[in-house]
Chain A
């Protein structure tokens, strides 16, 4: 009998430390499946962030090199320039990517750096206990926006993917989510496409994934999934933001 649901070979047997209902667990699994299916385990290098996914190297059975908070795109650039035929990806949270790492992110995209970024947007700083993130939406309460984010004092949230889509060096940018089976499937396809375009030398690719943080949202996993659909996607619309590959067949 064919085994349909097993642990991807590129994930170690270590159980995840993520909270119940956390999107990071799903996203790890999807990346693992794509690595298996594309047979990349021996030629892919990952750069984990400072964030809840800081321990990603305990879960992925691939080479991974740590970056300090926000600098993943620069570290990945170093990797890629030394090893241009390897697949290099960063795995970053919204704080890592769109606050402290904004400069690195924008410049990697502008250079058309041939790397892939998996950008996990959960609207908060998960690791440090639920502070406001650059992607926290207006009105959202966090431990450092205790009265709800207001544009007057805390400013507007940042749609970094849209900004990176303007950069001439970026080739493919898509925003997905992992809150429903259909969205999970789309996310997997997007990751696979980003890796494939990197292999074909298209330049900077990015998949932004809306992901639940039930712990800091103070919602149960079911409500978190709903909140992504009902609230988060209206600020961060799902879909392809840029695609230079010209390949229409998996535009979805």
Chain B
């Protein structure tokens, strides 16, 4: 398939439609407005497509719940402040074991913050900003191509595990255009059957979907069931990539757009003979703990770079289990570094540690 030049937000919409998503419920917020705008244009043209601009993010995520219970492939999207409001629904999606894709084109925060790209919603995404004992699969794409692939894949994983999948992008990824090879469109007939969906009890016993489980023993059972599912996801769905890891004396760990900038920095530094490599988590939950532990057998120095005050940093430290030395460099607030600027910071650490 030839590549097309598309804006990240449009890529999300198109990949979703190609994955068989026919229901989108959202609410405007910058920098992701092009997702609802794209869906309002395209979904009414697609077979059975429905677009609703809800009165709020709270309403939109609950429309997602209803559509998911009815068996539809369904998506919502927002940015920081709106994702905060969706947390109630995300907790319910997990408890009710409902598939859905939720996209966060995150921006500077907390509060209204700004609309610049930021990675300050890492905790919210990976720790679950809602109540209760739950996990959500979280993807951290770093290009428009990955936005397409992971949004598409998100629908499959959501259905496979009956759990919501979060795509954590940022304002820059949503706004920038890049060449993309779009995934193949799935015919609606080929979508996985949902033998749990609520469609009217025609020719079968009635059923219900609920999260209220008053008996603690039963609630505990439900929690263990969820936990077994999360353990399976942790075993089978972790994704990451490395770059120049083989002979690295220092590993940079970064995700999303920050990883992309770090990669540019590492390329420069390698040309100067500085032996640094990159580990980029692609799933932020499940986090590639094992990959980090493995690398820590060879490498003792780690450099975590994030566009926040240090959130993934905690996962890196968990993964290292006390091995290795971690240096953190963060730029919160929506500030975007150039590869050259981050290269300078990495190399000063590298030489301070007398690695070269």
Contacts and interface: CB of A to CB of B under 8 A. Distances in A.
A154 B52 CA distance: 7
Size category of the B interface is 10 to 19
A146 B111 contact: no
A66 B110 CA distance: 13
A102 interface: yes
Nearest to A132: B53
B44 A153 contact: yes
A102 B81 CA distance: 18
Contacts of B28: 95, 125, 128-129, 131, 144
A131 B66 CA distance: 24
A21 interface: no
A145 interface: yes
B44 A143 contact: no
Size category of the A interface is 20 to 34
B37 interface: yes
A69 B53 CA distance: 16
Interface in B17-31: 27-30
Given A144-B40, A144-B53, A147-B44, A129 B27 contact: no
Nearest to B36: A144
A111 B223 CA distance: 41
A66 B30 CA distance: 18
A54 B111 CA distance: 13
Given A69-B81, A144-B28, A100 B56 contact: yes
Q: At the interface, is chain A mostly helix, strand, loop or mixed?
A: loop
A100 B81 contact: no
A146 B81 contact: no
A70 B44 contact: no
A180 interface: no
Interface of B: 27-30, 33, 36-37, 40-41, 44, 51, 53, 55-57, 81, 111-112
Interface of A: 50, 54, 66, 68-70, 95, 99-100, 102, 125, 127-129, 131-132, 134, 143-147, 153-154
Given A127-B30, A145-B53, A153-B44, 16 more contacts: A68-B81, A68-B112, A95-B28, A99-B56, A102-B55, A128-B28, A128-B29, A129-B28, A129-B33, A131-B37, A131-B53, A134-B55, A144-B53, A145-B40, A146-B37, A146-B40
